[in-house]
Amino acid sequence: MVMDTIQVRLGPGLVKKIDELVGTGVYSSRSDVLRDAVRRLVLDKLAGVISGKEDSIKQIKNIRKNLSKEKFDLDEINSLAD
C-alpha cells in the first residue's frame, strides 16, 4: 500500500508526549502514533453516523480494521486513553 506523506508542525510539549508513547514500546515510531491518533479522530467523527441497526461496538471494530491493515492490540491502544 502506498501512503501519502504530509508534514505536521507540533509544539515541543506534544512532541515530547509522542516520544514518550514511542518509548513505552506500544508504538514503533512517531508516525505510528500520529496514524493512530488520526484513526481515532476519524472513528470519533464516524461514531455519530453509525446506524443503530447493528451492535455499534462491532461496527466500530470493523471500521478500525478497514482503516488499517496493520495488526494492533485494540485493548492496549484503548488503555492509553485512560
**b/e per residue, 37-65, with b = 16+ CB within 10 A?**
eebbeeeeeeeeeeeeeeeeeebbeeebe
Is residue 6 in some structural domain?
A: no
Is residue 34 in some structural domain?
A: yes
Is residue 45 in some structural domain?
A: yes
Contact criterion met (CB below 8 Å) for 80 and 21: yes
Is residue 4 in some structural domain?
A: no
Query: HSE of 45 in the Cβ direction (CA atoms, 13 Å)?
Result: 5
Q: Taking all residues of the chain, what is their mean pLDDT, rounded to a whole number?
A: 79
Count of domains in the chain? Answer: 1
- pLDDT: is 70 or 9 the higher one? 9
Is residue 31 in some structural domain?
A: yes
What pLDDT does 44 receive?
Answer: 75
Expressed as residue numbers, the domain containing 29 is 12-79
What pLDDT does 2 receive?
Answer: 81
Using pLDDT thresholds of 50, 70 and 90, give the confidence band for residue 41: confident
